[in-house]
Structure 1
């Protein structure tokens, strides 16, 4: 296939997957101009990572829930509850900081078991189960904290979301360790793309033209190195970014390279066909919600570390941010479609918009209106693509 035809497909046939990346670039350019370049300053790039990491963590679990044809409305309340449990143990009872982290993750997993039982075993729709969970965990948060906030956490706990690995290879006017991490990321991406290309060629599958392939590697490499350079010239490598990066790689592999991941897509794409193919639907659904609870627990630990305490109203609207990230990133409202990378880019779109509007001094009510309109347009775009695909058959 020629480069010209591939570029045409990028903006026509493949618009559903490529559209979010094009929109992301345009949004960054727009807010960069409107903030006089402040959006892309080193310190602000670092702040975006720190401020929105927990939403991206939630989006990793939410994309699997949505692909399977479900929804989870409880994750915001669960973030608050897990953070509250951690605060009571560490701040209220003086236990070691790592006990609080393990407790937050453990409570998240148990909450996922609770949801998985009602959805997978009993057969109650996930919308109802997680709506009940949203109320249940919010009430448990109030009870756990006795309707008051708890702070501060020990300095070690605060390092989870606010710490940096800097100075490990310093003395250059920037953090060399962070730059090397960026180099390793680019090399790893190029190697996996080349390996995937060779595998497709081996089975006589269609691959993109070499100029397009090299251009993709170059563009991604430049963007990644620019990003890590901004971090290196600011405060170094955020610890939370290492956590988030590890989770992204893990869940990308799980959803694209494992039997469990293929079963999730099979259930969301055609439930009856999945059952006839021997997929254990109950087991897969059960583990999907356990996984969502696990990630909500991690997000609760990260958010409580970031806010240096636990508040009864913490996590408000987080579930909507995670759901919006998935749909903006290309997930389908009917299940079966969605990617981890798309959910992350969708979350970054939300993060850049929120951060850009904050830098511009836009009030909170207007920010919510803009987010709502963007989500509506994303879903409308999904419906438009389905209709266009159906009409072309």
Structure 2
């Protein structure tokens, strides 16, 4: 009975964690068929990475905000503001590209500290603070740019989002360097997954069988190498993909292997318990928003580089795409649940859907409706899982034994234990 319960628990957990991967594979397969294979063409795959990289960068920070039980509505405006600051310095001021990048990052950190102060130390809900920030920073963007667009950036700045690493190791019709980098990434992932599995076994936690574990690694490795091969046939390894990959690796370690990451999950899962456990809630909440400001500045630099200019309307509605990526990727609406990898897959789901519908010529209004339905279904799935988990019987429940009737009290003068 215990084995059956363990299998059921393992299946439920795997369904929650792996369901988004299955859905993503199904969506890719569907649009590959509907677009007659154009979706998976080398050039189109490269364009998907270039066009949606800044949304994925925002999604990394947003999922941490959501795990902590908050929301950030200002990231689109922060993207615009940081891109505007960089544009004024590099385009109008003639400064080197790295000066613009550093200035944008400094502004993003200042914005994050500003919002983190009001949320963490003053106690204003993040929804209100970031809603005010959305208006405030959009207005500051208009002031910085004087209500006009600035362009173009120099080639050195445009390389951030439009450059490629290729040709280092040669190759006929494909770039060997791209394949080598992908192979190293697959090897690192396999080693990390193996260590994680051994740790779970050591703590007597349920894990999938060894053949299933190996099959999962083989499938993931094959998909990554196939994707890398398609990129190598186009223009090679995009620089922005290297930036994104480094951020994914760093923040996966931060959320799973550091004290800060564990505290974020604790705060989002049960605020009162976290406070009683000695977690410095105010400090953690402050740094959650500082981190979001930092990643929004990186996204602002990437977006301005990609669009080759700084526009007052840049970043419009980006916050909704980042929030949708987090929820579709498995983050819980109440906080305490979510992963960086899940947010990336959620963002890719939105990216593939948008790109596929564009290739099919679907009207923009229909695209928005479909995205909204997908987001609604993802949150509904999370709510359904929570209800099922709350109503499921606990495996540790012990059947209650029928209590024995208490012995009658001895009569006056009768010795204790005497039989009547």
TM-score bin (small chain): over 0.9
SS of residue in 2 equivalent to 1:233: helix
Counterpart CA distance in 2 for 1:326 and 1:274 is: 23
Deviation at residue 195 of structure 1 after TM alignment:
1.6
SS of residue in 2 equivalent to 1:316: coil
Counterpart CA distance in 2 for 1:100 and 1:111 is: 16
User: 1:81, 1:140 within 8 Å by CA — same for their partners in 2?
Assistant: yes
In the alignment, structure 2 segments of 5+ residues that lack a partner are 394-420
Deviation at residue 6 of structure 1 after TM alignment:
9.5
Structure 2 partner of 1:167: 167
In the alignment, structure 1 segments of 5+ residues that lack a partner are none
User: 2:10, 2:208 within 8 Å by CA — same for their partners in 1?
Assistant: no
Structure 2 partner of 1:50: 50
Structure 2 partner of 1:228: 228
User: 1:200, 1:206 within 8 Å by CA — same for their partners in 2?
Assistant: yes
Residue by residue over 1:313-337, the C-alpha shift from the partner in whole angstroms, topping out at 9 and shown as x without a partner, is 1100000000000000011111111
Residue by residue over 1:313-362, the C-alpha shift from the partner in whole angstroms, topping out at 9 and shown as x without a partner, is 11000000000000000111111111111100000000000110111111
Question: Structure 1 stretch 211-220 or stretch 165-174: which is displaced more?
Answer: 165-174
Alpha-carbon distance change, 129 to 360 in structure 1, aligned in 2, over 3 angstroms: same
The within-5 A match list for 1:275-286 is 275-286=275-286
Residue by residue over 1:31-63, the C-alpha shift from the partner in whole angstroms, topping out at 9 and shown as x without a partner, is 011100000111111111100000000000001
User: 1:41, 1:230 within 8 Å by CA — same for their partners in 2?
Assistant: yes
SS of residue in 2 equivalent to 1:172: coil
Structure 1 partner of 2:124: 124
Structure 2 partner of 1:183: 183
Structure 2 partner of 1:78: 78
Counterpart CA distance in 2 for 1:5 and 1:388 is: 15
The within-5 A match list for 1:1-393 is 12=12, 14-393=14-393
Deviation at residue 172 of structure 1 after TM alignment:
2.5
Counterpart CA distance in 2 for 1:336 and 1:269 is: 4
Deviation at residue 363 of structure 1 after TM alignment:
2.0
Deviation at residue 13 of structure 1 after TM alignment:
5.0
Task: Compute the TM-score of the two structures, normalised by the length of structure 1.
Answer: 0.97
Deviation at residue 15 of structure 1 after TM alignment:
2.1
Counterpart CA distance in 2 for 1:264 and 1:347 is: 21
Question: Structure 1 stretch 247-256 or stretch 193-202: which is displaced more?
Answer: 193-202
User: 1:9, 1:15 within 8 Å by CA — same for their partners in 2?
Assistant: no
Question: Structure 1 stretch 383-392 or stretch 328-337: which is displaced more?
Answer: 383-392
Counterpart CA distance in 2 for 1:216 and 1:192 is: 14
Counterpart CA distance in 2 for 1:113 and 1:42 is: 41
Counterpart CA distance in 2 for 1:215 and 1:226 is: 16
Question: Structure 1 stretch 375-384 or stretch 268-277: which is displaced more?
Answer: 375-384
Deviation at residue 167 of structure 1 after TM alignment:
1.1
User: 2:6, 2:206 within 8 Å by CA — same for their partners in 1?
Assistant: no
Structure 1 partner of 2:411: none
SS of residue in 1 equivalent to 2:124: coil
Counterpart CA distance in 2 for 1:8 and 1:176 is: 44
Counterpart CA distance in 1 for 2:65 and 2:125 is: 12
User: 1:6, 1:208 within 8 Å by CA — same for their partners in 2?
Assistant: no
Larger Rg computed on CA atoms: 2
Deviation at residue 9 of structure 1 after TM alignment:
6.7
Counterpart CA distance in 1 for 2:82 and 2:142 is: 12
Deviation at residue 166 of structure 1 after TM alignment:
1.1
Deviation at residue 201 of structure 1 after TM alignment:
2.7
Alpha-carbon distance change, 140 to 35 in structure 1, aligned in 2, over 3 angstroms: same
Alpha-carbon distance change, 59 to 211 in structure 1, aligned in 2, over 3 angstroms: same
Deviation at residue 186 of structure 1 after TM alignment:
1.0
User: 1:74, 1:319 within 8 Å by CA — same for their partners in 2?
Assistant: yes
User: 2:57, 2:299 within 8 Å by CA — same for their partners in 1?
Assistant: yes
Deviation at residue 200 of structure 1 after TM alignment:
2.6
RMSD: 1.6
SS of residue in 2 equivalent to 1:338: coil
User: 1:91, 1:150 within 8 Å by CA — same for their partners in 2?
Assistant: yes
Deviation at residue 11 of structure 1 after TM alignment:
6.2
Deviation at residue 12 of structure 1 after TM alignment:
4.6
Deviation at residue 131 of structure 1 after TM alignment:
0.1
Counterpart CA distance in 2 for 1:352 and 1:11 is: 27
Residue by residue over 1:160-199, the C-alpha shift from the partner in whole angstroms, topping out at 9 and shown as x without a partner, is 0000001111242211100000110111111111122222
Aligned length: 391
